[in-house]
Chains A and B, each alone.
Chain A
Amino acid sequence: MGNLSLASAMLFEPRKAFLEIDAKPRWGFPLLVVILTTVAIALWYRSVVDLEWVTDRAIRSSSFTANFSEAQIEEAVKRSTSNPTLGMVTTALGTPIAVVIMGLISALYLLLAGKITGVKRSFGQWFSFTWWVSLPATLLSLLAAAFVLLTATTAQIDQADLKPLSLNALLFQKTFDQSGYTLLSNIDLIQMFSLYLSVVGVRTWSGRSWLFSSVFALLPYALVYGIWAFISLR
């Protein structure tokens, strides 16, 4: 099965796709697509957005700047936005590094969890698993971001707005200054689809129950989001 066919299968027939990855693990194509797509979204967003506005919001929401005066915030915004080209370069270089590190962590977790539970696969297989699972979600994120950026009537677009299928956008409509805004904006249907693919993949590779596969694939996310929810909603 070619890479494009495999990518298509991941969306429409995930079980078949996972059997293919298990038999012939490969990660070059999805890794490249994920990196290029993520960098494209980041750069597009940076080139469109009102940088001062978004930096001001980021500084105000940070706990490190909680005691800053208005003048200090203004100065920090000025300093952060004084060199947009440098910001673009940093984004272009930093995003791939961050994406790869996240992929490595995810693959490492799957390897360790597999060793503990008897789902024995090599690191290369889990690494391949990680990137193929991420591929559809990343492409869908690009599509969502494109919808938002192309239809925006203002340049003041929050990063959270790039996820129109998030829980906050669909259900809660919390504003920037309300607690839970960032958390609810980060949980979206596209990400849930990606998690569903992980569960299907584990089930296909382990041959175990849905419950086992769900716990195996979702445990780190449940922990991260659980702690986040506890901190932001307390």
Chain B
Amino acid sequence: MSKGGKIIIVAAIVLALAGAVALKKMRGGDVKEVEIQTVATHVITPTILASGSLTYQTEIRMVSEVMGRVKSLYVKEGDLVKQGDVLLRLDPATTQAQVDALEAGLRQSKLAIDRQRVASDTLETKWKRYQQLRQSGVVDANTYDDIRSQNEQSKVELNSSMQMALQTEAQLKQAREQLAKTVLQAPISGRVTQLTIKVGETAVPSVTSIAGSDLLTIADTSNLYAEVNVNETDVARVVPGQTAKIVPAAFSEQSWEGTVETVAVSPRQIAGQGKSYPVKIRLKPSATLQFHTGMSCRAEIATRGTSADAVVAVPVQAVKYEESTDRDAPAKSSLFVVKDGRVKQRTVETDIADDMYISVQKGLAAGEQIVVGPARVLRFMRDGERVKPAPVVEEAPVTVKSP
């Protein structure tokens, strides 16, 4: 091949490569598509997240104090009851028989007392007469001592029978109380939230939860609560009166408004987690949300009032953190400001944050444009890179309230 031919081939190869690289650049291969947002001011409401469950203010778990088969049940789950209403009856036959037997025993004891009292009175009279006869010397000393002894013995026996009667009376009282316990009455006004026993089943007195020990649960449904566990590192910032948003597990799009009512003094240790303090949040009634006691929920407790001034804030995902070489110094925060199609990494000073926005104290002004996503692109974004807006760009309003 001639020298000219070789030069043409080499030139063609170089041109092909250069053309291919230029083609890629013309297609914008180096320009990253990003989500851009205009910096605005926001009201930041710092919140603490905690999880727990929905509950009523008062919930009473009723257990039987006597053993017996359930004879009648007057309520069903969900029924409203008033204090003193009869809820169920246990079969009283055994307890009633005990009462009857003791009543009979008591009557018999009383008859025995009467009989002994008569005998004692007779011996008393006889002893007094023998006392006069002894003084006159008509009766010898032996006979007189026998009579005196019989008289005193009869008094002891009378006293013994009287004590026996008292004992039987006490047993009878106890048996009657047992009988009364076969009828269960509502201790508070409220709603039957759980009914675990059925007619025909045997109620068993027990402090531990075994079959037949739990009868039913009555709850005071006038006040609804969420009991959430706040981590020990956050609990110092929670005080009664703070507002909270409660999101039940089954209705993640809806929420209750609530107010912190109590913060527990002693912690609760949850297995596999750190210590946490139970916090009770009173819920405002909602016409649309259905309350299910025991349902898991998430609480966002606002630790600062929403009346604070609007401040320059950016979406939390827009801020990049780099660990400082000085272990005691805080992490360096920065974000990417967009200008003339390129990004400029700018160090900023951040302050409080809520679940969506973080306030920027220094280094950024409202109206500037910053990169807020996508997260994967943002993670590897470098200073000076070329960017263009992704097809869907949402511009934030000038001032909005964060939820």
Question: Chain A interface (Cβ within 8 Å of chain B)?
Answer: 8, 11-13, 50, 52-53, 56, 140, 143-144, 147-148, 151-156, 161, 164-165, 169-170, 173, 189
CA–CA, A53 and B9, complex, Å: 37
Q: Is B20 touching A155 in the complex (CB atoms < 8 A)?
A: no
Q: Is A50 touching B382 in the complex (CB atoms < 8 A)?
A: yes
Q: Which of B355-398 contact A (CB under 8 A)?
A: 376, 379-380, 382, 385-386
Q: From known contacts A52-B380, A169-B24, infer whether A154 and B385 are also in contact, taking CB-CB under 8 Å.
A: yes
Q: Is A53 touching B380 in the complex (CB atoms < 8 A)?
A: yes
- A50: chain B residues within 8 A (beta carbon): 380, 382
Q: Is A11 touching B9 in the complex (CB atoms < 8 A)?
A: yes
Q: Which of B7-42 contact A (CB under 8 A)?
A: 9, 13-14, 16-18, 20-21, 23-25, 27, 29-30
- A170: chain B residues within 8 A (beta carbon): 20, 23
16 interchain pairs, CB-CB under 8 A: A11-B9, A13-B1, A50-B380, A52-B380, A56-B376, A56-B379, A144-B17, A144-B20, A151-B25, A153-B30, A154-B382, A154-B385, A155-B382, A165-B20, A169-B24, A170-B20
Interface-centre pick from A8, A52, A143, A154 (highest chain B CB count, 10 A): A154
B111 nearest CB across to chain A (Å): 86
- A148: chain B residues within 8 A (beta carbon): 21
- A13: chain B residues within 8 A (beta carbon): 1
- A12: chain B residues within 8 A (beta carbon): 1, 5-6, 9
> Which residue in A56, A164, A173 is a CB contact (below 8 Å) of B21?
A164
A173 nearest CB across to chain B (Å): 7
Q: Is B382 touching A156 in the complex (CB atoms < 8 A)?
A: yes
Looking across the interface, which residue of chain A has its beta carbon closest to that of B22?
Answer: A151
B24 nearest CB across to chain A (Å): 6
With A164-B23, A169-B24 known, 18 other A-B pairs at CB within 8 A are A11-B9, A12-B6, A12-B9, A50-B380, A53-B380, A143-B14, A144-B20, A147-B17, A151-B21, A151-B25, A153-B386, A154-B385, A154-B386, A161-B24, A164-B24, A165-B17, A170-B20, A189-B16
Looking across the interface, which residue of chain A has its beta carbon closest to that of B386?
Answer: A153
CA–CA, A164 and B13, complex, Å: 12
- B21: chain A residues within 8 A (beta carbon): 147-148, 151, 164
Q: Is A164 touching B9 in the complex (CB atoms < 8 A)?
A: no
- A161: chain B residues within 8 A (beta carbon): 24, 29
